[in-house]
Amino acid sequence: MDLQLAGKTAVVTGGSKGIGLALVRVLLAEGMRVVTGSRTITAELKETEAVPVAVDLSTSHGPAELIGKAALVLGGIDLLVNNVGVGDTDDFAKGARLNLLELPDDAWEHTFDLHFYSALRASRAALPYLIERRGTIVNVSSVGARAASAGPADYNVSKAALGALTKLISEQFGGQGVRAITVSPGPVGTGVWTDPDGFVGRLAKARGLPQDVLTEQLIKESGVTTGLLTAPEEVARLIAFLASPVNITGSEHLIDGGMIKHV
């Protein structure tokens, strides 16, 4: 299937690993030119033909810095994917462990800087280029936005805000040809779930369980109908489809193995 992306340009935040790295590979395979920004440039990212930019997207200046460099390299931007997220696993675990009275302001601020404000700032910087090319923004959220009481509270609330940002961009700039879409994965087979030092790995050690046993238990408790982790490549393929010329905007697309069951 030709997605009609060949020759177009993309900026992907958080492209050094996980969903971001899978997306970089998929977009390159579709013939796009890609710039990606992250704090760390991994060996796996260096093996691709993407142009990496070392940048801290949780800072007030980082997203605009990335977009500025990308525009110079690419000559314009057709697609922005706001994917960067999770960050330090200790912060992620803190949001899951502490309740609203216990979780301090700085935890909320860090989480929103990484998951919401990075997307807001990158979108704001990229919009002039996207308007010029009638481009697309895809915001990578989470099913946690629909289940704010389950898992890291600050993370889930920040992702809910990200979904609202999608709606706002779609409404305000749709008349100028810009589409904005939310993709919300459920549990994905990234380092958060698979690395021994990731969130689930640390939780397994704390509970004295093998990591694969806890993974299976958590997936079952989450209500994932298929009983499977979603592969990063599956999320990447969905994003690539939504970035193709289709009349879809302002909507949320779940890829969660049936976890969210309400209409």
Q: Under a CB-based contact definition with an 8 Å cutoff, are residues 16 and 66 in contact? A: no
* pLDDT per residue as tens digits for the range 21-49: 999 999 999 999 999 999 999 999 999 99
Boundaries of every domain in the chain: 9-186+232-252, 189-229
Using alpha carbons only, give the angle 93, 254, 24 rounded to the nearest 5 degrees.
Answer: 75
pTM of the model: 0.96
Q: What is the DSSP letter of 81?
A: E
Q: Answer whether CATH 3.40.50.720 is correct for domain 9-186+232-252.
A: yes
Q: Under a CB-based contact definition with an 8 Å cutoff, are residues 177 and 128 in contact? A: no
* pLDDT per residue as tens digits for the range 199-223: 899 889 989 999 999 999 999 999 9
